[in-house]
Structure 1
Amino acid sequence: MKAVNDTLTAMCVESSGYAWVEARGAWGISFNLHTTWLVLIESGSCVQHGSSERLGPGDCFLVQPGARFEVADRPGRPLVNFEDLVVAEKPPAGEPVTRIAAARFSYRAEAAEPLLAALPPVARLRLDEAGGQALRSTFALLDLERDPSAIGAGQVTSHLADLLFVYALRAYALSESGRAHGWFAALADPGLAPALHALHADLAHPWTVEALARRAGMSRAAFASAFKRKTGRSPIDYVTYWRMYRAKALLRDTSLSLTKIAADVGYDTDATFSRAFRRHEGVAPGAWRRRSQPRTSHRPSDHRTISPSAIGRSSPDGEAGLIQQRMW
């Protein structure tokens, strides 16, 4: 799946982190709306916001930025943000424990657009289904890195968290939902896949619907219908989208001339490329390139290293709270 691999490279996961929490008694957790999360219920049980279904060990969720994701011991609990959790001074002993592990990721949002568009806002994964074993194993390895003073602990945790993101994508692509519709489904479809692989291998080729249909071994009408049904785009809209995606990567990450970029993405002249780019992006390629360049001023990083210890207080309703270990 060259297209997926190229997108993962372009999106450039810039930072990631991992933490886990053990919750007893009355508790509720919300997750930052501006972050991509991978959340695993490792043990115990809980409910997700808006549902009475009990979640249990092996339930895993890939949560996109902007999606609301909250879990609690029962519906209606007051919520504490996962990143702002504090521990209860005296959590009740002997009560059932729910253990939740979570990884967070930040990346080039624009470069990640094709992958994010292929996912639902909250993708539910199961570790006991296809693709789940790699996720389970990586979570287990992260669990071994509890001691932040161990040699290379930060580097190991960061790299393993990066792997979690890729394994989560794999698990979704192999899931029933991932195989039913969307970009992953199209890439795995035995009829559409040959055409898609040929297209992504050579975006500069003068692709037509007929040429792509021949690659798929289908009639033009059957191919166009199947393609739209799986991807939500017409074949030509899809070609244009990916040419513009590739062009933006070249504008952002290289100093190639507009003429060279135009040729690389299938346009005969920089003038025809510029017109197509402006129609698609609403701005000329040169202006887009200038806008996408890194700022020269250096701002302090917003990355926070959070100590495993925290100030204790009880939960908002006076009942039991949370015990947390952080490893961001």
Structure 2
Amino acid sequence: MSAARQFVLTLSCPDRAGIVAAVSNHLADQGGNIVEAQQFGDQETGRFFMRLVFENASRELADLDADFAPFARQLRMQWTLRDRSRRRRVLLLVSKFDHCLADILYRWRLGELPMDIVGVVANHPRETFRHLDFDAIPFHHLPVDAATKATQESALWSLIEQTNTDLVVLARYMQVLSNELSTRLAGRCINIHHSFLPGFKGARPYHQAHRRGVKLIGATAHFVTADLDEGPIIEQDIERVTHADTPDDLIRIGRDIERRVLARTLRLFLDDRVLLNGNKTVVFHS
């Protein structure tokens, strides 16, 4: 008898009685055995969200997908079904500040982030990152300025398509994506912003925070949208600071916050724990 494979099902639909039972019965009829289940009913929007991990020793993903589609239509579901062994293909974008990139590479090599890195894209030359070991990861230098932005983004989009990228990570990529590219990447592009949004959006947020004399600083990981730093928030964290801290101190403290927030966000996304809910997210922690 073949070993059971694990699949992850995520869904959202208009809330109503009996959804959990209906989904469970459907999976059982297909030979599935549920090993994890989380759910949330949003009373404000009237939508229901669910994440299930189930085992099935006899069915292939394509068959399960085909069988679930008509069932999902009856309940007006938005849904995804993934073989849990399939690793996401991730493209990392970075500018001069490389602390988030270095941390991601370290955690990836340890096996903490189960993904396939299809490339690193930077608007600075490779020499900027000579202290980092990219090993066999392709590196792409795509310089950009106001005059070349459209051409650079066209090359970036071609790379995303050629590598079959599932997720784009802006790991302190200090360029604002165009509205067109942001729209194309809706739901599969994550940015780490160096402030506790919705405060201190845009450039130099630590300097903005210092001028306001804040006592807490933070970092925010969010989905990228056409509205700058307005995308649905996935994960945040903070650290306490004092009146004696300079802007450079805030930047130093902030680097640690940014690294851990982005790492947690990646772990959540890679395990299908982040569901979009309009301009918010539903995040199913383990």
Specify the structure having the higher radius of gyration (Cα). 1
The higher-RCO structure (CA 8 Å, 6+ apart) is 1
TM-score (norm. length: structure 1): 0.22
TM-score (norm. length: structure 2): 0.24
Greater fraction of residues in helix: 1
